[in-house]
Amino acid sequence: MPSIFAYQSSEVDWCESNFQHSELVAEFYNTFSNVTFFIFGPLMMFLMHPYAQKRSRSIYALCVLFMVIGLFSMYFHMTLSFLGQLLDEISILWLLAGGYSIWMPRCYFPTFLGQNRPQFICLVVIATMVSTFLSFLRPTVNAYALNSIAVHILYIVFQEYKKTSNKELRHLIEVSVVLWAFALTSWISDRFLCSFWQQINFSYMHSIWHLFISITFPYGMVTMALVDARYEMPNQTLKVRYWPRDTWPVGLPYVEVSGDHKNC
């Protein structure tokens, strides 16, 4: 039995040819396409600082986890090791758990919890710990399980889309869903249409998944911040801004917070 640290000890192998560009890096483009995680993570930590100060400093932990995902993804695609695969997938799982804990609207909590967020966080942590253990049992299905969580997130987002008349929130939801759809299409395409991409000498769809999912994170973060503010910050006004300039056609979204003294 190969060591969990050994190169190619994982059962998961993506479409890109192995060791084509380096003897040390199994999947060259899949490895270095993670560089965007180290760009957007620190930027969002800086841009969302005022919001984190007023809502929850756990936002910083999410940004750090996002960068950790990039690091572990690089390690996995560089080695295709079993350890790298698990570190990559488990870090994604805990990022999702963190997002649920901070931003899940109380109206979607299980009924037996009422609207008690500390109890909900305990439930999320327990479920995540159990899922972490289960990820060792059938590691080949982990990626599919993680993507299936998106179904529940999409349900929440769709419900909030129907409720709101906020044009900024509706726009962010639309852009986030489109970006996620492009990312998921790239992931599925690499997984199931590999022979086609190899025939046309373009085996880089998983790299494109990395790029799309890394830009989906800032949009998803700001989307959930706006959804959450409706319930948890009723006396604050959140204004969506874009870095580096609001007037640019493409930018990184973030929020500015100001009190508006409205009545609850």
Known binding-site positions for Zn(2+) = 77, 206, 210
**According to DSSP H, which parts of the chain are helical?**
28-32, 35-47, 49-54, 58-79, 82-103, 117-134, 142-163, 167-192, 194-199, 205-232
CA distance linking residue 187 with residue 213, whole number of Å: 10
Pairing of strands 252-259, 236-243: antiparallel
Which residues make up each annotated binding site for Ca(2+)?
13-14, 16, 18, 27
CA distance linking residue 58 with residue 118, whole number of Å: 14
| Contact by Cβ (8 Å): 96, 146 | yes
Which residues make up each annotated binding site?
13-14, 16, 18, 27, 77, 206, 210
Token pair 């590999």 in the structure block, residue: 194
